[in-house]
Structure formats: structure tokens, C-alpha cells
Amino acid sequence: MEKKDSFFAKIHRDGFKWTDSMIISFLVFAMMFIVGSVIALAIGSGIKLLGNENNAEFVSALGDNFGFIGYWIIAYIYLLLVKSEKPALRAFGREPKGNTVKMLLWGLLIGMVLNALCATVAILHGDIRITYDSFPVIKILLVFISVFVQSSGEEIICRGVLYQRLRKGYKNPWVAILVSPVAFVIVHMGIPGCTIWAIISIYLIGVLFCLMVYYFDSLWIAMAIHTAWNFTQNFIFGLPNSGTIYSFSIFKLDQASVKNTLFYNSEFGVEASITPIIIFVILNAVVLYMMKKKPKTSLDVWND
């Protein structure tokens, strides 16, 4: 039991337990990431067995992305089995005011525009050159759905579980907003080409996603922006998505034209450039301004 006038009592929420601490929250996240990744690998490998020499790259993309349903599976198992954590599930459904089809569509548009802007800067600067290849509608639609599974899976464990656990343990929401994106950065740091620019960019978009959950009361819009960002750069422009590139895309990247500059990284893509950093700083500042001018009350899954 914490003394009412102690430092920890001032930062922790009422009813705080040691299992609500930041360390335990990160351990829970690590468990979910590891177990979810194992499940993802198993599912993805199974899907890839369906491929042949004519569609290997397409099926590989489906396997890599659909496999992330492993994160959904482990998150739901954990939240359903651990009774004290079950309220976090409220953030996934329609109860939050911002979890609407409208916000989902806005998120898809925002994510696509933001990534297209980053790619356009790299093209205009002469760092990359892309050419139209083809538009197989059914395959593109299936890949889009698979990317939604992948991106929303990451959002489930980062903003759906870790963020909500930190909100449960700490009075100030900025603890969850500023600390949970660190985990998002860590899981990307082992990818080849992950530079300091990439780390800053990923952290800033992680903060933006948390602000979407906190201010707009919408995990769905974070899922949508994440999905559209990944899909646009990987399967529309044919650029690396956090280091991963497929030959299956609407446009093809001319590898001979690639230059490493402030606006593009040959291994990690536009995410390891200064452009998204500038954009995410501006967007975070805009949301902060909106929070100051028009405060809102979002769903507190632990109290409301």
C-alpha cells in the first residue's frame, strides 16, 4: 500500500498494483510480441506453401502480412484470460466515440496522403524513379486486406494493450502517450537500414497514433493510418516498408536510380528520411493545438 503523500502515490492511479508498473507492462508487451511473432511465422509459412512459380511473390506478401493475425490471437487470449486486463477490450469495439467507419475512412486517406507526400519528395529530389507496372484488382484487394491485418495487429499490441496498461497504472496520460511508442521503436530497430532518422520517425508516428487514441478516442483511425501508410509505400509505389520490399506492386522501383540522401534510404525507404520526421512533428503539434483549444474526454476503459 502506497502512502497518500508519497511520490509514487502521486503518479500512480488509485488501486495501483505492482503488476500495473511500467516494467511489467513492457514484459507483457514483449511476451505478446514474441508469442505473436511465432504464431505469425507459423501461419505465414503455411500460406506460403500455397504458392507456385507463377504467384510466389504475391503469396509471399499474403503470408507475411496475414500471419500477423498472430498478434490479434495472443492479445485476445491474454485479455480474455486475465480478468483484470479485460476492460482493455472496450477500446477495440464500437464503445469509444471515435471508433466509427467515418474515422476509419479518414485514417485510410490520411495514411495514403502522408506516404504519397514522402514518396513524392524523394522522386522530385531525384532519389528514386518509379514506373507503372500493372493493377491486378483482386490481388491488390487481397493484399490490402492482409496489410490491414498486419498493421492493426501491431496497433493491437502497441496501442490496444501496452498503451492501455500504462493508462491503467499512471494518472498522467502522457506517460502512456510518450512511453508506449518506445516499444514500437524497439521492435523495428533490428531491421537492416534502421538509422537514427528511422528511429525518430517511428517514435514520432507512434506518439501520433497514441494521440489519435487519446484525443480522437479511436484505435480504429490509428489502425487505418498505419494500414494505408504501409500499403501505399509497399504495394502502390513498390518501396521498402521498414526494410521489406516485394516485386508485386502497382508501380515498380528502378533500383538503379536509388540514392541515399536525407529524403530516402535504399534499405529502409522513406521512413528513414527527414521528410516523415518533419510531417509527424507538424501533425503532432496540430493535435496538441487542438487538444488545447478544444479539450475532449475520451473513454477511460478502466473507470468509465
Q: Is the pLDDT of residue 241 over 80?
A: yes
The contacts of residue 169 (CB under 8 Å, 6+ apart) are: 12, 13, 16, 20, 21, 22, 25, 175
- Give the CA distances from residue 77 to residues 39, 74, 161, 219, 231, in Å, rounded to whole numbers and listed in that order: 13, 5, 12, 19, 28
pLDDT in tens, 93-145: 999 999 999 999 999 999 999 999 999 999 999 999 999 999 999 999 999 99
Bridge partners (DSSP) of residue 130 are: 253
Domain ranges across the chain = 8-293
Q: What is the pTM of this model?
A: 0.94
285-304 mean pLDDT: 91
Q: Is the pLDDT of residue 189 over 60?
A: yes
Checking phi first, is residue 238 left (phi over 0); if not, alpha (psi -120 to 50) or beta?
left
Residues 134/251, Cβ–Cβ less than 8 Å: no
Find cell 483549444 and name the residue. 293
Q: Is the pLDDT of residue 2 over 60?
A: no
Per-residue pLDDT band at 159 (split at 50, 70, 90): very high
* No. of helices (H) and no. of strands (E), the chain: 11, 2
Residues 199/189, Cβ–Cβ less than 8 Å: yes
Per-residue pLDDT band at 88 (split at 50, 70, 90): very high
Q: Is the pLDDT of residue 289 over 90?
A: yes
- Give the CA distances from residue 80 to residues 18, 85, 245, 258, 267, in Å, rounded to whole numbers and listed in that order: 20, 8, 36, 47, 39
